[in-house]
Amino acid sequence: MNRFFQQPSWRLSILSGLIMGIATYPFSLGFFAWFGFVPLIHVLLHSSPKNGARNAFLFALTFHLVSVYWIGNNSGASFGVVLLSLIAAVIYLSLFWGVFGYLFCLYRDKSGLGLLSLPFFIVSLEWLRSFGPLGFPWLNLALTQSHYLSLIQMIEITGSYGVTFWLTAVNGIFYILLTQKQGVKQLSLAMAVFFLSLILAGSARMRQFDAESKSVKVAVIQPNIDPNEKWDRASQGKTISIMDSLHLVAIDLQPDLVLWPEAALPVYLRLNSQHRKRIQAIVDQSKIPLLTGTVDRKKVDGERHYFNASMYFTPNNAQSFYNKIHLVPFAEYIPISEYFPSLRKLNFGQGNFTHGSDFTLFQLDSTFFSNIICYESSMPNMVRKFVKSGAEFLSIEANDGYLGNTAGPYQHFELARLRAIENRVSVIRAANTGISGLISASGQVKEKISLGTQKVFLAHVSYGNSGSFYTRYGDVFAIFCLGLLMIMGIRTWKN
């Protein structure tokens, strides 16, 4: 094994990136992440700060190219734009790892702690990477473990960063087992006890949320309409006809709520009185509320604004709206364009939407729920605010059709499982071309409709157990890791 670690550092770094990238794929290979960092760990323990930065950056380039290659597969923009988007995203995300590599090697030399500090560094990296308009918690390492539910139930306390911490620690233990002869039995036993404890505790916790509870019946529509054709004038009538017919199928299931996906109709529903009144008439007649995704336009302070919104129709009442808060940068808006409006004149094929600001609650009889629109479901700290505000279950409206049959839609669905566990809420998901489904508060998938399928299904969505430690207190675990790392760093430099 020592001969394996004698390979060039660049090769070991790329190997780590490949293994960790594959662990994010929908192949049930998340266990690759238990040892995927091992080659990189060896490199970082034997590099200067400068070389550590270079090799960590090389690792990250590989990791991100493998795991989010689907950014370059967006059929909603030109090849040049999506290729540039992929390159820019990969480089931007890799810069965090380059800084990490430099600081870790510097800290290793000053403190001598080495492996002990590694989990604190990577948790801090993920947390800091989540901030700002370019925040990207999509690739937090917890994504690799979403199929191992009993191992990740602690995220109701730690958030996804708890999984990152133990994953990194396990990689460190594997590295020690491969490179040292002393203490192998003790470390092997300790790791076995750790996994067994996680499994037993996690399984027991899951059973607490699998018992029967109160529920509402939601009819979910997955229309499977090509998003590139939806806004073509020649196809608008066909799209509206499909949604109307599927709506009637959903009503026949006698649900408490009908859920349509993101931007379900190629019209501005608020402004188009013909279609709005037609849908409202169906809702009034059936007595069944409808939540649909829609693009919206209205004047604010005399200026025209566009929103990616969801519109809630209830029987014999005025419609209510939720406007998407966290927009996709360079796809739905240009960052900081709200301060520099001239940036909106740049044309990357993006929309120029305005951010919403309210964590809206919708009422269904005596039950309250909130709706998350697409990319927002990757934002743990944002999603928890809906539950903290009073949502008893969550719906997600998505449109991943632009990404085709890549890893992107599968990863997106798995992120919804993490949000369900973090906040102990059921999640019902409607996606235009898939993947739609129902996820329980323990993260178990109760219903799942595959990509490229047209389907209407009825789901019994449990509620009443919403909220967790993470919901109430947020990223305190990540803050603790960063704070402890900074305290240790200050003490080390003083000495």
Dump pLDDT digits (tens) for 120-152. Answer: 999 999 999 999 888 999 999 999 999 999 999
- One-letter amino acid identity for 274? Q
Return the pLDDT at 332: 74
The DSSP bridge partners found for residue 258 are: 219, 290
pLDDT in tens, 271-312: 877 889 999 999 999 999 999 999 998 887 778 888 999 999
Give whichever of 81-95, 105-119, 449-463 has the largest mean pLDDT: 449-463
Q: Are 370 and 362 in contact (CB under 8 A)?
A: yes
| pLDDT higher than 60, residue 343 | no
**Whole-number percent of the chain with pLDDT over 70:** 95
- One-letter amino acid identity for 420? A
Confidence of residue 328 (pLDDT cuts 50, 70, 90): confident
Return the pLDDT at 304: 86
Please report, to the nearest 10 degrees, the dihedral formed by the alpha carbons of residues 39, 87, 53, 378 taken in order.
-70
Q: Which residue has the higher pLDDT, 439 or 345?
A: 439
Which structural domains are found in the chain, ordered by start?
4-209+475-494 (no CATH), 215-464 (3.60.110.10)
**Mean pLDDT, the chain, whole residue set:** 90
Return the pLDDT at 347: 59
| pLDDT higher than 80, residue 331 | no
Region 210-217: what's the mean pLDDT? Answer: 81
Confidence of residue 236 (pLDDT cuts 50, 70, 90): confident
Return the pLDDT at 337: 57
Report residue 490 as tokens. Answer: 């200050």
| pLDDT higher than 70, residue 344 | no
| pLDDT higher than 80, residue 2 | no
Return the pLDDT at 461: 96
Return the pLDDT at 212: 61
Report the SS3 class of residue 295. Answer: strand
Return the pLDDT at 233: 79
Q: Which range, of 101-115, 353-367, 406-420, 436-450, averages the lowest pLDDT?
A: 101-115
Distance (Å) of CA 265 to CA 262, 314, 316: 9, 18, 22
Return the pLDDT at 346: 59
User: Rounded distance, CA 408 to CA 375, Å?
Assistant: 11
- One-letter amino acid identity for 297? R
